């Protein structure tokens, strides 16, 4: 399990294998390399700097195959938020899911 944070520093979720889970136990995404897609197949964002999630505005129309989320699991105590990073041009913070 690898904890991930939004570009703005919010402790959001964790990666387990190719799946993205929220700290409260919801299966919200699937990874294809460093890019993550929602259950409907739409692009949500990608990992930068090893543990930060960010969304490339130019990729928002990208799609992969949809998937059926796993059942909700017991949540975890989330990490304390980090300090946010300065946003890159053409990007925005990872969406709240």
Domain residue ranges of the chain, discontinuous segments joined by +: 2-93
pLDDT of residue 79: 86
Distance between CA atoms of 48 and 37, rounded to whole angstroms? 15
pLDDT of residue 45: 98
First CA to last CA distance, the chain: 19
pTM for this one? 0.91
pLDDT along the chain (97 residues), means of 10: 93 94 95 97 97 97 96 89 93 93
The full DSSP string for 34-70 is TEEE-TTSBEEEEEETTTEEEEEGGGTT-B----PPP
């Amino acid at each position: 399990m690898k904890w991930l944070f939004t570009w703005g520093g919010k402790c959001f979720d964790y990666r387990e294998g190719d799946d993205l889970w929220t700290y409260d136990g919801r299966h919200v995404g699937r990874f294809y390399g460093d890019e993550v897609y929602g259950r409907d197949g739409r692009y949500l964002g990608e990992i930068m700097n090893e543990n930060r999630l960010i969304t490339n505005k130019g990729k928002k129309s990208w799609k992969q195959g949809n998937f059926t989320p796993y059942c909700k699991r017991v949540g975890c105590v989330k990490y304390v938020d980090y300090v946010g990073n300065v946003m890159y041009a053409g990007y925005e913070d990872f969406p709240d899911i």
